[in-house]
């Protein structure tokens, strides 16, 4: 357990989100506590779950030297490249309302992850927690790239074999929020296409399908693709660390994010996806942790989004200063000082 790191959920309502947040904290060796103002523990006990560890607002400053408010608050800095030090707590807010005023005013740092979608402007709270812990918990990366045409660098994404419809829905939500307009889905478990009504409704709700306009393209199981470069992102120590791999090669590159719970990676024929296949892995400190597809997907997409970058912010040209002309003496001190001969100097 990393004693210097605590994840705090402020007013989380959904016990399922709280569970995934606990899993995210476990991935990074952090403690996870909840400020229970929305009846989280009551809802959890109703569903037969265990109670969550709670914390009060006035206890938060005593936990660590710094408290990071992770929300799209006014004046929040960008997550990428942000250095907060070794001893801090991360506060994330309610699913609908975000961080409460009581917690926001305790924050020593305000950080947000840049969202590129106009329609989906936030991530699932558990997925966002994982992204925050990944980047703030010691990952040294640069800031988000700035390019003229970032979409030319945006690779295609294939979500492969997801086993849970809510996890897949949250992953699709993250894909849209990070700026993708379409995503390939290889739906082996039939949880997204052609599923029963209840599953479909829950999955679409997790994906915020009401305002999420992303085009989800079904891919047949085992279908062959012709991408120049295929990058498979996994939590296993395969290939290079994620941030060292070029994930911004444009539409000729396919990023594959398999659900490691339901896909046996060693049995897959990756060469069917493209010519050149490489692996990249998330650098996760814990050896064993509860796997959630939305967490790995969102972290991977956040890193791709960082590398793909965004357009430069438009600069308003400053009004030029009107010209002025001074009337002054051009050369006032032409020969300041005094001439001294060598003899005078020697006599002196």
Partner 1 sequence: MRFLHLTGPIALYGLRTVELARTPSVNARGSLVFGRYEAPGRILLFEQQNPPWRLPGILNQADTNRFKRFGATVAIPPGSQVTIVEWPKESLKRFMLEGVLVHELGHHVLQQYKGKRLARVARTRDHEAVAELFASRQRLLVTAVGKLAK
The residue ranges that bind partner 1 (CB under 8 A) are 320, 322-338
- The smaller minimum CB distance to partner 1, of residues 287 and 330, is found at 330
**Eight-class DSSP state of 268:** -
Which residue matches tokens 């064993």?
A: 288
- The smaller minimum CB distance to partner 1, of residues 148 and 317, is found at 317
Closest CB 348 distance from partner 1, rounded Å = 16
- The smaller minimum CB distance to partner 1, of residues 264 and 326, is found at 326
Residues in Cβ contact with 306 at an 8 Å cutoff, skipping those fewer than 6 apart: 80, 141, 142, 143, 144, 145
- Per the structure block, which two tokens stand in for 251? 């539409």
- The smaller minimum CB distance to partner 1, of residues 267 and 336, is found at 336
Closest CB 323 distance from partner 1, rounded Å = 5
Q: What is the signed CA dihedral for 185, 188, 192, 195, rounded to 10 degrees? A: 160
Residues in Cβ contact with 183 at an 8 Å cutoff, skipping those fewer than 6 apart: 157, 158, 159, 172, 175, 214, 215, 216, 217
- The smaller minimum CB distance to partner 1, of residues 325 and 348, is found at 325
Closest CB 344 distance from partner 1, rounded Å = 12
Backbone angles phi, psi at 274, to 5 degrees: 180, -175
* Residue 141 exposed, middle or buried by CB count within 10 Å (0-12, 13-18, 19+): middle
Closest CB 58 distance from partner 1, rounded Å = 53
3-state secondary structure (DSSP) of residue 16 = helix
- The smaller minimum CB distance to partner 1, of residues 318 and 327, is found at 327
- The smaller minimum CB distance to partner 1, of residues 48 and 323, is found at 323
- The smaller minimum CB distance to partner 1, of residues 75 and 323, is found at 323
Closest CB 345 distance from partner 1, rounded Å = 16
Q: Torsion-angle region of residue 146: left (phi > 0), alpha (psi -120 to 50) or beta?
A: beta
Helix segments in 88-196, DSSP class H: 101-104, 125-136, 165-177
- The smaller minimum CB distance to partner 1, of residues 287 and 335, is found at 335
Give dist(CA 172, CA 157) in Å, integer: 10
Backbone angles phi, psi at 41, to 5 degrees: -65, -35
Residues in Cβ contact with 35 at an 8 Å cutoff, skipping those fewer than 6 apart: 8, 9, 10, 11, 54, 55, 56, 57, 60, 100, 103
Closest CB 337 distance from partner 1, rounded Å = 6
Which residue matches tokens 């790191």?
A: 5
Closest CB 143 distance from partner 1, rounded Å = 37
Closest CB 340 distance from partner 1, rounded Å = 11
Give dist(CA 167, CA 62) in Å, integer: 34
Closest CB 317 distance from partner 1, rounded Å = 14
Contact 169, 204 (CB under 8 A): yes
Cross-strand partners of 293: none
């Amino acid at each position: 357990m990393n004693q210097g790191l605590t994840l705090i959920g402020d007013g989380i309502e959904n016990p399922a989100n709280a569970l995934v947040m606990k899993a995210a904290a476990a991935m990074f060796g952090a403690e996870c506590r909840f400020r229970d103002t929305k009846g989280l523990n009551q809802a959890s006990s109703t569903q037969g779950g265990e109670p969550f560890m709670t914390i009060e607002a006035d206890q938060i400053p005593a936990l660590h030297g710094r408290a990071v408010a992770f929300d799209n608050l006014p004046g929040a800095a960008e997550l990428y490249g942000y250095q907060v030090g070794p001893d801090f707590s991360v506060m994330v807010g309610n699913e609908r309302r975000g961080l409460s005023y009581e917690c926001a005013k305790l924050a020593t740092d305000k950080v947000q992850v840049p969202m590129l979608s106009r329609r989906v402007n936030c991530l699932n709270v558990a997925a966002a927690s994982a992204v925050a812990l990944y980047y703030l918990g010691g990952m040294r990366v640069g800031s988000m790239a700035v390019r003229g045409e970032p979409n030319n660098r945006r690779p295609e994404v294939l979500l492969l074999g997801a086993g849970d419809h809510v996890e897949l829905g949250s992953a699709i939500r993250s894909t849209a929020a990070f700026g993708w307009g379409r995503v390939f889905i290889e739906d082996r478990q039939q949880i997204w296409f052609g599923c029963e009504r209840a599953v479909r409704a829950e999955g679409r709700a997790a994906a915020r399908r009401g305002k999420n306009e992303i085009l989800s393209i079904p891919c047949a199981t085992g279908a062959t693709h012709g991408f120049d470069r295929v990058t498979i992102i996994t939590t296993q120590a395969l290939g290079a660390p994620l941030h060292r791999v070029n994930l911004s090669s444009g539409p000729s590159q396919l990023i594959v994010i398999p659900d490691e719970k339901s896909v046996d990676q060693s049995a897959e024929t990756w060469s069917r996806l493209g010519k050149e296949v490489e692996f990249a892995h998330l650098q996760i400190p814990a050896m064993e942790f509860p796997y959630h597809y939305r967490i790995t997907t969102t972290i991977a997409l956040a890193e791709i989004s960082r590398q793909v970058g965004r357009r430069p912010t438009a600069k308003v040209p400053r009004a030029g200063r009107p010209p002025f002309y001074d009337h002054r003496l051009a050369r006032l001190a032409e020969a300041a000082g005094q001439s001294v001969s060598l003899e005078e100097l020697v006599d002196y």
